[in-house]
Amino acid sequence: MTVRVYTIASGKGGTGKTTTTLNLGTALAMLGKKTIIIDADIGMANLGLMLGLEKSKVTLHEVLSGEAEIKDATYSGPSGLLVVPSGLTLKGFQKANPDMLKKVVSSLTDGMDYVLIDAPAGISKDGLIPLTIADRILLVVNPELSSMADALKIKTLAELLGKSVEGVILNRAELDKTEISRNKVSELLGVGVIEMIPEDVNVRRSAAFKAPVVVRAPKSPASIAFKRLAAKITGEKFTESKKEGFVDRLTRSIFGGK
């Protein structure tokens, strides 16, 4: 299979890009796909924090400043997921050159099935570059008008860059209003909603344990939705087994936090 580079973007901040990158990436890895997730939010890095990698000395900052190789900034996550966090310092941000991201991403695609890029919010240069290097763009939106308006801007920008948006992930959806909001979202944005991720308290709880919700609470509503999304992306049939298998249990005991 040729590698697919997905950029997870939103426009508005706080819609759930990092949560989606982490959980979709983990769910793809659980399906046996070689997956790497990259924190391209180089100014406000969060991905490493969600996995307890915040003390990592070598990060994407060092790679984008030419001081390190991508392999030195790649860490192991759950189920064989590979993770490239960004650093937390302002100094690191200042020295990182976002223009180098394209070269870095093309250098690591060897042997990978999926590369997921967690994009920053907004339309700064660091936000546009992840759009330009994506094979596919996923927009994470919340069911609010401000989130739609900003997502629409990203969609238009992506089109100006010659890219199209593959689909929308409607995060923090209220399930009782499902169909209405789902249809309205695709109508407003002109793109289909691939998956709806419900508001789920387990997302935050898992974050507190520095573990993806798909590992920490695999049967929770958000986890099931993230796993269904992963299956849609790989084109596999989604089956949610009722019993936790040995590998799932092992993964949870290692990466599921205390």
Ligand X SMILES: Nc1ncnc2c1ncn2[C@@H]1O[C@H](COP(=O)(O)OP(=O)(O)OP(=O)(O)O)[C@@H](O)[C@H]1O
* Residue in 3, 4, 18, 227 binding ligand X, rule: CB under 6 A: 18
Task: Determine, following the binding rule CB under 6 A, whether residue 83 of this chain makes contact with ligand X.
Answer: no
Binding mask 215-254 for ligand X (x = CB under 6 A): -------x--------------------------------
Task: Determine, following the binding rule CB under 6 A, whether residue 126 of this chain makes contact with ligand X.
Answer: no
* Span interacting with Mg ion, options 12-20, 52-60, 83-91, 180-188, rule CB under 5 A: 12-20
**Shortest distance (Å) from residue 121 CB to Mg ion:** 7
Q: Yes or no: say if 216 and 209 are a contact pair by the CB < 8 Å rule.
A: yes
DSSP letter, residue 202? H
Binding mask 26-65 for Mg ion (x = CB under 5 A): --------------------x-------------------
CA distance 16 to 13: 8
Instruction: Return the structure tokens found at 152.
Output: 């629409």
Report which of 84, 82, 80 is spatially closest to residue 69, judged by C-alpha positions.
Answer: 84
Task: Determine, following the binding rule CB under 5 A, whether residue 21 of this chain makes contact with Mg ion.
Answer: no
CA distance 25 to 83: 9
Q: Yes or no: say if 171 and 13 are a contact pair by the CB < 8 Å rule.
A: no
Half-sphere exposure of 84 toward its Cβ, with a 13 Å CA cutoff?
A: 29
Which residues sit opposite 11 in a β-bridge?
A: none
Q: Which residue has the tokens 């000395």?
A: 57
* Residue in 4, 9, 11, 16 binding ligand X, rule: CB under 6 A: 16
Which one, 31 or 47, has the nearer CB to Mg ion?
47
> Cα 236 from chain centroid?
19
* Span interacting with Mg ion, options 17-25, 48-56, 67-75, 195-203, rule CB under 5 A: 17-25
**Shortest distance (Å) from residue 46 CB to ligand X:** 5
Footprint on residues 154-173 left by ligand X (CB under 6 A): 171-172
Burial profile 160-170: b = 16 or more Cβ within 10 angstroms, e = fewer:
eeebebbbbbb
Q: In a 3-state reduction of DSSP, which class is residue 140?
A: strand
CA distance 196 to 72: 35
* Residue in 69, 72, 135, 199 binding ligand X, rule: CB under 6 A: 199
* Residue in 103, 204, 219, 249 binding ligand X, rule: CB under 6 A: 204
In the complex, the residues that contact Mg ion under the rule CB under 5 A are 17-18, 46
In the complex, the residues that contact ligand X under the rule CB under 6 A are 10, 13-19, 41, 44, 46, 121, 171-172, 197, 199-200, 203-204, 207, 222
